Structure 1
């Protein structure tokens, strides 16, 4: 029950709200009953049937296998070189499979380089100069002006 106080002296019960709370409790009980082991197995199966998840997982497995081969047989590369080459292959795979939109994949490459230990300016300098951001900003402003 929900009690609404409009002032300190008077209180009254909102009758329609009681029915809503009872229905909500019933739905919560149904949700907890549905989350048993069989439902969890179905959730994992639905996740596997998701094409984006399968594409991403397949690419990750392929690139991990190539990284393992590089680790075992490429003596001329140090660990940083192997990591960057593996990242390069993974980004190429994401571009070809179009698992994520292409701009997102392009930004993922720079972020991953920073996470691998590269300096931020060096990682983003190849495609993020001041001129690119100026043109991008002017195009965004022009789009906003044309829509308003």
Structure 2
């Protein structure tokens, strides 16, 4: 007897989709030539989703996915694939606690400062550049 079980788990996007997502979230958070129309909180979330998109593109390209989607897990996934600049990793991780929303026990949200957003924006841009170099 041959049973065919239909899976309800959706197929994971390919690395190109993750890259496109990363680029689009970054562009939404940081429109060229003008200030963002979004609040600091929304800009932080868009930058976080952009970071996730870029790391997932690199990870998917190398078939080595992160264990979770916290900043720490995303940086750990990159380190399994490429030598990651310690300063860049540190710049990303220092902003993880602004919205620690992936933890059930330690859920925490605060508002990012303009300086924090500028630093995170620059660091995510660097990760995006890495993704473009690695995946294309």
Q: TM-score, normalised by structure 2?
A: 0.29
The structure whose residues are more often helix, as a share, is 1
Greater radius of gyration (CA): 1
Q: TM-score, normalised by structure 1?
A: 0.27
